Structure 1
Amino acid sequence: MQPTYLYTSELDKEIQWRSKFSIVIPILIGFLQMILTFAIVGLEIASVVITPVKGTLYAGFWLSTIFTLSWVAMLTLVCCHRSRRCALYVFFISLLCAGAAIALIVLDAFFIGNIDRCYFANAICRDLEQSYNRPSSAPLGRKVQVLKGQIACAALLLATALLYMLLFILASIGSRTRNNRVVIENSQLPPQVNRQYGRQPSPAPVWKSTSVPVTYEPSQLECPHCGTLIKLAQKKR
């Protein structure tokens, strides 16, 4: 008995996509990005505690909103059952996350090179210096170490975003190279369909009411891969 071939293009593409797109790697990326985001926020707090005036624009705080959006989107792929549309949405979020990570690396590197400079408006700098009056030599040295740690976390975030984008591209290429065909074995068909396919053609010129009809009559069949109801077309005999 030959297997039954169902040709449904959109459903085939989705099934092929899910067979190529692994959910394990995005989950690991999501948890890693969450840890790195908390680390960046903690380092930014330490930087502000050392000195809120010099060598900072609080970039670790406002860029962490993008990092948070990225790891939340990674983890929601489980709720979306790794669908192609959700994966494409996360791909664009990963582009945004990569851009934010690059921006944080550039800003921190600039702050390290100009650690004794205030980057706010003159009035704000004067108010901050009056309210926060501490020796600048030791704190600024510690702040350089904090900013270097933040650069390392941002570099890891950039690597995770690039890893997801590479995974998405490879899954897209792999799902397109396969033949658009879903194969369902006869053992997976409902009992009534198996009985119809297992019957031998009657030599009588008149078909019985229980045999396969001469014309096409679509019937519904549940897909064993995703549980979606599919219209099954039966050929003439």
Structure 2
Amino acid sequence: MINNAAVAPTASIPPTVPPNNPTQQEWRQKYPAVLSGILSCFQFILTLAIIGCEIGSILIDIVTATIYVGLWAGLFFIVASISQSSSSCCCRDRGCATYTLATQCISLFFAACVIGFDAYFLIQPSTCFFPSSTCNSSGSTRGLFYSTSNFNDIKIPLIKAQLGAACGMFILCLVFIIIYIVTAIRIKRARTKPTVYPEAQNTLPAVPTGPDGMITAPPVMNIRAHKPGSPLYHRPTIVVDNGDGRANDLVCPTCTTTMAVTVRKKLP
């Protein structure tokens, strides 16, 4: 048996659009994306310089005065520069900036490692961390372009250049950390700052009041100009609705006698 009962239509629920997060909007407004993008470019250039100096140093002498710090530290520098570049243009949310902050802190540590090892190797260029048989070897086994002159004239300057690039990387990491902290403080202050609304100006005229606080009526003004010897015309004080007209008061200027005058409409 077929059931012909009508099925009540179900109301379609429109898709809900998630509202904009005010925190993300504040972060995009306060965060200096242009400055961060410029810093990321300099970081990438310094990263290439550190890796290039390390490769040149290895080609000359692979044994002494190196532990390949520029190679394994350069990997973290690349990640830090790319994450900072993306947080400046592609992903400007606070979460991306927080991830960049973590990579910058790690890069700050490895930049300090590069500075420490390079400074130590410049003080003692003959430092070797390999077995004595390898450290005492000579010829092409030490490097593709190994020679005493190349070691002193090329390898040592490369280590000095790598030291300078590592110092620059250390400073750039510190600058980004400071930028992140300052931006977070500005957003926090903007939230806690009380909102000051402008005072509404009272455009209404002042109402006269008496000693008892009651509103006093304004004085009766003459409608017609005063003429000598003629009564003064005042506004009606009592309105009598008799269907034909209304009552007015006329005051004599000499004897101050009040006379009631009824004004009637002229019949057509």
Classify the TM-score, shorter chain. Answer: 0.5 to 0.7
User: Is 2:69 the counterpart of 1:48?
Assistant: no
- Give identity over the alignment, percent: 25
Q: Residues of 2 paired with 1:31 and 1:164: CA distance?
A: 13
Q: Deviations over 1:42-78 (max 9, x none)?
A: 1112111221121111111111001011011111214
8 Å CA contact retained: 1:116, 1:140: no
8 Å CA contact retained: 1:47, 1:143: yes
Q: Residues of 2 paired with 1:51 and 1:180: CA distance?
A: 59
Aligned partner of 2:21 among 8, 11, 15: 11
Aligned partner of 1:143 among 144, 150, 155: 155
Q: TM-score, normalised by structure 2?
A: 0.59
Shift of 1:180: 7.3
Q: Aligned-residue CA RMSD in angstroms?
A: 2.6
Return 5+ residue gaps in structure 1 as ranges: 1-8, 182-237
> SS of 1:71's equivalent?
helix
Structure possessing the higher radius of gyration over alpha carbons: 2
* Larger helix share, 1 or 2: 1
Shift of 1:41: 1.2
Shift of 1:160: 0.8
User: Is 2:33 the counterpart of 1:23?
Assistant: yes
Q: Residues of 2 paired with 1:128 and 1:97: CA distance?
A: 35
User: Is 2:116 the counterpart of 1:106?
Assistant: yes
Q: Deviations over 1:92-151 (max 9, x none)?
A: 111011111110000001111111222223354356767238543552343221111101
User: Is 2:175 the counterpart of 1:175?
Assistant: no
Structure 2 counterpart of 1:152:
164
Residue identity opposite 2:188 in structure 1: R
Structure 1 counterpart of 2:141:
131
Return 5+ residue gaps in structure 2 as ranges: 1-18, 194-268
Residue identity opposite 1:117 in structure 2: T
Q: Residues of 1 paired with 2:49 and 2:106: CA distance?
A: 19
Structure 2 counterpart of 1:93:
103
Structure 1 counterpart of 2:6:
none
Shift of 1:166: 0.6
Shift of 1:26: 1.5
Alignment CA distance shift 1:89-1:128 (3 Å): farther
Q: Residues of 2 paired with 1:118 and 1:128: CA distance?
A: 14
8 Å CA contact retained: 2:57, 2:159: yes
User: Is 2:156 the counterpart of 1:117?
Assistant: no
Q: Residues of 2 paired with 1:128 and 1:172: CA distance?
A: 56
Q: Residues of 2 paired with 1:110 and 1:129: CA distance?
A: 25
Residue identity opposite 2:80 in structure 1: S
Shift of 1:14: 1.8
Q: After the TM superposition, which of the residue ranges 123-132 and 110-119 deviates more from structure 2?
A: 123-132
Alignment CA distance shift 1:130-1:79 (3 Å): closer
